[in-house]
A and B are shown apart, each in its own frame.
Chain A
Amino acid sequence: MTKTDESGAAAGARTGRPRRRRVRFAVPLPLLLPGAVALAFLLLPLVALLLRAPWSSLPSLLTSPDVWQALQLSLFSATAATAVSLVLGVPLAWLLARTEFPGRGLVRALVTLPLVLPPVVGGVALLLALGRNGVVGQWLDAWFGITLPFTTTAVVIAESFVAMPFLVISVEGTLRAADPRYEEAATTLGASRFTAFRRVTLPLIAPGIAAGAVLAWARALGEFGATITFAGNFPGRTQTMPLAVYLALQNDPEAAIALSLVLLAVSIAVLAGLRDRWMTAP
């Protein structure tokens, strides 16, 4: 729409008559056809999910103890992972956005690595680091008797590992867009840099933090690969919704569809929550 308006205005300007008019220009078939296929491709599976949903038995499926357990675990672990990401990720984002240190570019690249890393690889890496015989895990076991793998804590760790980069990138972007002179103004009023961050910067970037947190939460909720690798698949302890869906698909496809619907509903809710931020962007 915008494109046609612009070309229309440009044409008007060329002929010396700056007149806004809608130009109906033919959409080239080589673009229209693949575009339409892509749209169908993206929507069809979701439509299928809705079509095949066992609507009548849905209430009983969703209220079964197994589903409840998985849903509760998922909500808890995703929320915990988001909290971990906030507590650790916001300071990291601040360091990346506001300080100069050697190798900062490299650090930022490493932070974003989990975004593109296959989650299974992340799970394996976490096992090697925090597993019973892992680089750090062996000391946790020897000194404190703490074993992380295959516990609910492991679920939170795996989800944090995958979700935190989303939050860091989102918050860092917001920080870069925010005017650093507010922090300067705060320091001239006697605020330490931390006070300036806490009382001025944090409230200013709150919308960006909220968006990053929602994004991280959604990512954590859907996390599968790292979780099943590092935390396993024990109902009630480490079996989150995505894991339950996968397992149910083999024994009880109807339950899998029901669980998937729940996750789809959550995703749509997240998208609706973020629409002001993304969907209205030009």
Chain B
Amino acid sequence: MTTVPPPDSHGPTGLDAHLVVTRAAFHLDITLTAAPGEVVALLGPNGAGKTTALRALAGLTPLSAGRLRLDGEQLDGTPPESRPVGVVFQDYLLFPHLTALDNVAFGPRCQGATKAESRAVAAGWLDRMGLTAHAGDKPRRLSGGQAQRVALARALATRPRLLLLDEPLAALDARTRLDVRSQLRRHLAEFEAVAVLVTHDPLDAMVLADRLIVIEHGRIVQQGTPADIARHPRTDYIAHLVGLNLYRGRAEGHTVKLETGPAITVTEELTGDVFVAFPPSAVTLFRDRPTGVSARNLWRCEVAGLETHGDRIRADLTGELSLAADLTTVGAAELDLRPGVTVWATVKATQTHAYPA
């Protein structure tokens, strides 16, 4: 995972927000800072206030109190149309009466470009998204993945300094989701300003964001890098939510060679940069090197820490491969797990999930 500067180390550039929104039965109070180029994910259960936070950043919901600065500029009282903010809405909200091209050209046109100029800009964006062939299509003729890319192009065409994405992958089916996720990751990596995305899907958050902010009941309960949060969840909700080990490496066939050394065998056949993810519950631990098990996906590790979450114990392991493993309290007792002991960790290839980075 990329290293992220501490939230308050940057000067006047980037996002510096304290969002307070009070409604009848709901109170949102979060502090949010991000540097240019950083992708921050707001993660939390439904009703936690993620979307309200996003709407407040966009200016669609007024702040009850707090502050909002973007690149040093005060935005609190600025109406949405005057904010340098682009939004990709959950169901995209592409204008149904306009073609894909005119949807993307809408923003530049509103910013004062001529019809020809804004269409040229839009065509450029559609080209970058690989959608030139669909420029003349109305939104209802686009697939979910195409609509998502048009929505992203439309938001980026206004050259925003803050890009907001509300559940960018929620409307897609599982199959499309994988493709769109890695494409979106690429576009976000190229985006030079601040991006904030809202999601309830931990995998989306981990793949797309440099930093996660977990919100529950309108408050931040934890924030940090995805790896950080996955290893050291501070509430049961997060432990359950981010129950994933995530690695980056280069794939060759069914083998993924990690940057840190070891390799992971996966079911997918891929080449190039990939992510490999598997849940802590997929990991099996042994005190002695197991004999009946093939040497693939077998790592010698050391227990760095143990944390109890409900009736399960999450073991934080270091060694050949840093990973989190879940086991029952009984299982942990049988293995006599305690910090410092050596264990052998194994995971079946079928329990892993690899996808292009």
Contacts and interface: CB of A to CB of B under 8 A. Distances in A.
Nearest to B80: A187
Interface residues of B, number: 23
A204 B81 contact: no
B93 A189 contact: no
Contacts, number: 58
B79 A190 contact: no
A181 B92 CA distance: 10
Nearest to B151: A185
A241 B193 CA distance: 66
A188 B97 contact: no
Contacts of A199: 106
A185 B89 contact: yes
A182 B89 CA distance: 10
Interface string A191-226: 111010001100110000000000000000000000
A189 B107 contact: yes
Contacts of B79: 187
Interface in A209-268: none
Contacts of B111: 190
Contact-residue size bin, chain A (C-beta under 8 Å from the other chain): 10 to 19
A110 B235 CA distance: 56
A195 B107 CA distance: 11
B52 to A, nearest CB: 14
Contacts of A204: 95-97
A181 B158 contact: no
A43 B87 CA distance: 57
Interface string B69-102: 0000000000111110111010001011100000
B35 interface: no
B181 interface: no
A204 B93 CA distance: 12
Interface of B: 58-60, 79-83, 85-87, 89, 93, 95-97, 106-107, 110-111, 154-155, 158
Interface of A: 179, 181-182, 184-193, 195, 199-200, 203-204
